[in-house]
Amino acid sequence: MNNSKTVNETITYVYNNGKEAAPTYNTSVEFTQTGKLDLVTNKEELNVWSPVANTFIAVTSPVIKNYTANQKQIDAQTVQPSSSDLAFQVTYTPAPVEPTKPTEPTKPVQPTKPTEPVKPVQPTKSTEPVKPVQPTKPTEPTEPVESTKTTKPTQPVEPTHTQLVQKNSEIKSSNLVLPAKATNKATKKTEENILPQTGAKQNDTSLIGLAFGATSFLIGLLGNELKRKKKN
């Protein structure tokens, strides 16, 4: 009689989201056992399993670009006829991006030393300008006094002939007693002073003439003043 036993090894490859990342790896080992049956006693006489043990070889996990496997390989596994099937899972996660190495900056060129500038000639000291004399403050002009308005002189009243005769009579009837000779002289002088046309005294006529002259002069001044004010 013959007995056999198969032990399987399964390796699955998935991404971290559960999707398949690579084909599943399957392998198996087989054990056999021989024996005989005693027909008299009806008992089996079994031999040892062959092989007594077997080993699954190590399996390297496939490389997937930009992903990293949580197990680089599945190590070798030893099994016996009594062993159960083996199952393994390799999970892949995105690999961190390796930063590119920055390029080495070029060494800067040493700048040439600048030439020493020529020292400027010291300028001659300028002469101090003469301080201007502070002008004196002009005196504030006084406000002109408003001239008083010239009053128009009143027209003198010319004495009548009757008044002149009455005046002459009053002089004649004076209480002053003069000597006869002096009286005759005074009378004669008085008569000489009376104008032949009007019978008025010469002195009174002179006074009236002066009054008219003064009045005309004042009227002329008043007219000139009024003309000057109109022009202004």
Q: What confidence tens digit (pLDDT) does each residue in 150-165 have?
A: 555 555 555 555 555 5
Q: Does residue 8 register a pLDDT over 90? A: yes
| Summary mean pLDDT of the chain | 76
Dist CA 3 CA 46 (whole Å) = 9
Mean pLDDT of 36-60: 88
Q: What is the pLDDT of residue 23?
A: 96
Dist CA 64 CA 70 (whole Å) = 12
Name which residue leads in pLDDT, 23 or 218. Answer: 23
Amino acid at 157: V
CATH of 2-94 given 3.60.15.10, 2.60.40.4300, 3.40.50.300, 1.10.10.10: 2.60.40.4300
What is the separation of C-alpha 52 from the centre of its chain, rounded to a whole number of angstroms? 97
Name which residue leads in pLDDT, 165 or 180. Answer: 165
Each domain of the chain, given as residue ranges in start order, spans 2-94, 161-231
At 224, list the tokens: 């000139």
For residues 208 and 158, the answer to whether their CB atoms sit within 8 Å is: yes
Dist CA 200 CA 160 (whole Å) = 9
Name which residue leads in pLDDT, 190 or 209. Answer: 209
Q: What is the pLDDT of residue 62?
A: 96
Dist CA 72 CA 94 (whole Å) = 15
